């Protein structure tokens, strides 16, 4: 590394406001272009290999339902009625 102080090197590597805005626009445009719903992704999986991927999709749906806070409500209601 040359005899330049560290702050000068860090300043050279820091993007300016215009560069930062340009990079942010590029990132957001890429994210917007690539967004797909979870349902669309699952349907794509099922179309590729229906039998194998259907099992994966069913397992994923079961986990989403099982881990959902709304899934705990009926289980809590069933548990309170027993005793």
Instruction: Please give the average pLDDT of every successive group of 10 residues along the chain, which has 83 residues.
Output: 64 82 88 76 81 84 81 74 55
| 65 Cβ neighbours under 8 A, 6+ residues apart | 71
| 76 Cβ neighbours under 8 A, 6+ residues apart | none
pLDDT of residue 28: 86
Q: Domain check: are 31 and 42 in the same one?
A: no
pLDDT of residue 31: 79
What is the reported pTM?
A: 0.36
Q: Domain check: are 9 and 28 in the same one?
A: yes
Q: Domain check: are 27 and 12 in the same one?
A: yes
pLDDT of residue 48: 83
Q: Domain check: are 26 and 60 in the same one?
A: no
The residue written with tokens 């215009």 in the block is 18
Number of domain units in the chain:
2
Q: Domain check: are 76 and 50 in the same one?
A: yes
Q: Which domain holds residue 3?
A: 1-35
Q: Domain check: are 48 and 70 in the same one?
A: yes
Q: Domain check: are 69 and 53 in the same one?
A: yes
pLDDT of residue 68: 79
């Amino acid at each position: 590394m040359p005899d330049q102080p560290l702050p000068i090197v860090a300043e050279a590597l820091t993007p300016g406001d215009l560069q930062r805005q340009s990079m942010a626009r590029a990132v957001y445009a890429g994210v917007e272009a690539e967004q797909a719903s979870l349902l669309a992704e699952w349907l794509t999986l099922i179309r590729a290999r229906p039998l194998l991927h259907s099992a994966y999709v069913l397992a994923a749906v079961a986990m989403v339902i099982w881990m959902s806070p709304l899934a705990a409500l009926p289980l809590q209601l069933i548990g309170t009625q027993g005793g």
